[in-house]
Amino acid sequence: MIREFTVRTRVRTEFVDITRQVAGIVRESGLDEGVCRVFVPHTTAAVTINEKADPDVARDIAAALGRIVPEDQGFRHAEGNSDAHVKASLVGSGETILVSGGELLLGTWQAVFFCEFDGPRARRCVVRVSG
């Protein structure tokens, strides 16, 4: 089963918790045991799994990526968003999450985050659930 939903970002760099939407798709699928693949079909956005309990963790990750790949580095790409392309490549366009007992098998503190690096925008997130 494949489903899509839209993530609307408000600023250039933003980590959006999409765990609830992904878990809802898994429940809708009726799958008891299997895998859930979350994929972002964009070249300046990504998806990651990390801590949700403290929102400073996502902010720290975004800040660290900003220090590693600053926005103004004299990139050659004419659109002026090369840093976003590099950050998306570093983080990655997909995550695989195990499903057990009909639920995402995430750790206590873990959440699934959509990572925006070139917002604000309306973005697609694709979820595939399979047994």
- The DSSP secondary-structure symbol of 63 reads H
Read off the pLDDT of each residue in 53-72 and give the average, rounded to a whole number. Answer: 94
The SS3 of residue 125 is strand
**Per-residue pLDDT tens over the stretch 17-45:** 999 999 999 999 999 999 999 999 999 99
> Is residue 78 predicted with pLDDT exceeding 80?
no
Instruction: Give the pLDDT confidence score for residue 123 in this predicted structure.
Output: 98
Question: In the structure encoding, which two tokens stand for residue 89, read together?
Answer: 């490549």
What's the predicted TM-score (pTM) here? 0.95
Which tokens in the block code for residue 16?
Answer: 């959006």
Domain ranges of the chain: 2-130
Domain boundaries 2-130, corresponding CATH code:
2.60.120.460
| pLDDT at residue 104 is higher than 80 | yes
Question: Is the per-residue pLDDT at 65 higher than 80?
Answer: yes
Does pLDDT of 80 surpass 90? Answer: no
Residue 91, φ and ψ in degrees, nearest 5? -80, -45
